[in-house]
Structure 1
Amino acid sequence: MTDIAERFQLVRSQIRHATHIAGRPRNSVRLLAVSKTKSSQDIASLYRLGQRHFAENYVQEAIQKQQILTGFNITWHFIGPIQSNKTKVIASHFAWVHSVDRLKIAERLSEQRPVHLPPLNICLQVNISQENNKSGITLEELPSLAASVNLLPRLRLRGVMAIPAPIVNYHQQRLPYRQLYQCVQQLNNPELDSFSFGMSGDLKAAIMEGATLVRIGTALFGERNYTQKD
């Protein structure tokens, strides 16, 4: 068994275990493979093992991989910061966008989503730890932005995404996810069914607090090389 196959098996086992401990249905959590800075060959290897959902942070890098992997039935997610001059490309080449934190960006994505494609699935990024160096809206801003985005015709608002400040303690890891999950429930919108929570270091805590999409990179692909620029 290859290294990537072993890591894939281990991550899926961790997801199944955490889902079971949380008392949730077996298939209620989807693994999202974060493939930024990784090669198309690595993506193809994971695809052949059964992985179908992949996430990218850098637009140009992602487009190059999509062109190489055009014959693969991959669902592409964009999870990086969004510049206004990149919205047209993102709207045309991705099925999901997890990092919307401004109405202007949402409006551009809606206007530029090709009519032959289904509505673009959107998650609103919440800066749950209120870190100055991270993008995202506050919890207080969430209801208003959600209401506005929900009205845009070429988008489908699905839920929220969060990247809390790094915490080692498992019980403390759970708190920001719980807070955001409860805030979304208070919006009383059954369409908001997606919680893009959790990465390699806090997967269990995220699943315990309602994650439906866990974004895993290092635990699947190994350490990254950040020399790639967008």
Structure 2
Amino acid sequence: MAEIALCKSLDAAHQRLERALDAAERPTGSARLLAVSKTKPASMLRDAWQHGQRAFGENYLQEALDKQRELSDLDDIEWHFIGPLQSNKTRAVAEHFDWMHTVEREKIARRLNEQRPAHLPPLNVCLQVNISREASKAGVAPEDALALAREIAALERLSLRGLMAIPAPCDDPERQREPFAALKALLFELQAALPDAPLDTLSMGMSDDLEAAVFEGATLVRLGSAIFGARD
């Protein structure tokens, strides 16, 4: 029964994304769902994988590594680290993840670059931007993003893919779009300044603001409870 419920939730999430893309007059497939499974067991990820989900986002490093070991028999899983990362834990992300969404300091980027194994492709990274300028939020200030992007673009074992943000909560759908529009404008600025970088990603939007994010160009939308249910 639990597997059936999860599959229904996953289907509903994909349908919601497709409706948002259609409303924004964007092509099907131009944004993907990132299934965020913090506090949920590996068995639920296995069920989601069997139902076609491939991209999974993890906030907690040790929990993620445990899940990766349990699911090592599954192929083509795409692991995204989306939580805060201390510099003494960069090696595990460099060695075991495909994407890192929360780079906000040059030190973290350089450690990831140095620790990325040579047999793996470059680690895809997004800069986390504090787009709402909240004192409680992590992320580089918008005006400092270009300088950091230049540093990361020069690192051979990293692939600078785009920007990530978690805007301040807002219930007004129109106002929800404002920080996402600002992040999109910042991505355009980086694309113009760094034409050789594969800057094609906006990691933005969650359960409460998916539609606003998609309208403003989100390419990766992070959904947790909408797929897996309330956190344990």
So what's the TM-score if we normalise by structure 1? 0.96
Cα offset, 1:43, TM superposition: 0.4
Amino acid at match of 1:212: T
Cα distance in 1 between the residues matched to 2:186 and 2:123: 23
Cα distance in 2 between the residues matched to 1:44 and 1:72: 8
Structure 1 unpaired stretches of 5+: 226-230
Structure 2 unpaired stretches of 5+: none
Cα offset, 1:96, TM superposition: 0.1
Cα distance in 1 between the residues matched to 2:135 and 2:39: 25
Q: Which residues in structure 2 correspond to 1:167-182 (within 5 Å)? A: 167-182=170-185
CA root-mean-square deviation: 0.9
Counterpart in the other structure of 1:55 = 57
Cα offset, 1:119, TM superposition: 0.1
Counterpart in the other structure of 2:71 = 69
Cα offset, 1:64, TM superposition: 0.4
Counterpart in the other structure of 2:24 = 22
Counterpart in the other structure of 1:228 = none
Whether 1:215 aligns to 2:218 is no
Counterpart in the other structure of 1:186 = 189
Counterpart in the other structure of 2:8 = 6
Counterpart in the other structure of 2:231 = 224
So what's the TM-score if we normalise by structure 2? 0.95
Counterpart in the other structure of 2:207 = 200
Cα offset, 1:57, TM superposition: 0.7
- State which of 97, 103, 109 in structure 1 corresponds to 2:112: 109
Of all paired residues, the percent bearing the same amino acid is 51
SS of the residue 2:102 aligns to: strand
SS of the residue 2:230 aligns to: coil
Give 4+ residue runs of structure 1 displaced > 3 Å after superposition: none
- State which of 150, 153, 167 in structure 2 corresponds to 1:164: 167
Whether 1:90 aligns to 2:93 is yes
Cα offset, 1:36, TM superposition: 1.0
Cα distance in 2 between the residues matched to 1:184 and 1:13: 27
Cα offset, 1:124, TM superposition: 0.2
Amino acid at match of 2:26: R
- State which of 149, 152, 160 in structure 1 corresponds to 2:152: 149
